[in-house]
Structure 1
Amino acid sequence: MLQDDAPDTADTTEEPIKEARLWRDRGWTAKVVKNNDDDGWAVEMYTRGQAEPALVGPWTMGRDKKNPKPLDTAAFNTLVKTASEVIRRHEQAQAALHHKEQRVGAVLVTLDIVVEDDEAHALLAARDADGAQLAQVRVPASFRLSAASAAAWVDGGFVRP
């Protein structure tokens, strides 16, 4: 069974499909497809509304060694769990790219990139040891937070860099 941390993608308007090469349930679709790289098979996992698969992996051959093994409940649940984990890790990596921290004594300096189509920018902020905000300024998204730039900002009285 799926773990509680799996995304709740239940949709009462979508009828489940449970075929040998296509399963659709709870906002996920598993498709077994011919592997273009070799003579085997692959499985693609899609989330509802996404054109690109969240996960693509090899799929097991059936007993006849020509056709793929049919999908079943256990395999589908495992694929959903694995694809959910891939998405979660991707989101964590993206968040890490957009958030940086440097400590200057008791002051925590953070840089959060705000991705907007028309005007990407970043927010440079400082918090004291109790978590109270000391300053926040808007900087270009290209601003690089380093130990030196954080120290210079704190020592300079939080003047916009």
Structure 2
Amino acid sequence: MRVTMTSVAARTGRANEDFVGAVPTAVVLIDGAGIPCTASICRHGVAWYAGRLGSGLLGLLSRVRGRSLPALLAEAIEQVTDDHRDTCDVADPVSPSAAVAVLRLSGDRIDYLVLGDSFLVLDRVDRAPLVVSDAREVVISRPRRSPEAARSPG
């Protein structure tokens, strides 16, 4: 597996809210998300959350064999949530969150998981690259029509 990675902060002077890392059999990308100026909700911030979630997930991927990617991600989320449950409002909808892309090699199999607005591009021998995305992202980001507009023709 050959991995190429790069990441830069969204804005100059701000912390990079992304995490990308690899071990011999897995790659993890965490794209931190959150609303700026929410220190009253979480004193750690999005960059901390992304780094903690990414490193926790990568650690699980390197140690735990045979568990599904959703199960490993759920465990990593629970770990990072526990890390700041006592100091931050982890239930608030604007607390830090993240989009996730994970790729794991398991023998001759490739497992992947993509959540949110991240993408995974896989080069394939003698075929076009495979682009994996979370189709729900398109549905969620569509403008919502009011109930009145939905009932009116055309």
Q: Is TM (by shorter chain) over 0.5?
A: no
The alignment's TM-score, normalised by the length of structure 1, stands at: 0.22
Greater fraction strand: 1
Higher relative contact order (CA 8 A, sep 6+): 2
Greater fraction helix: 2
- Specify the structure having the higher radius of gyration (Cα): 1
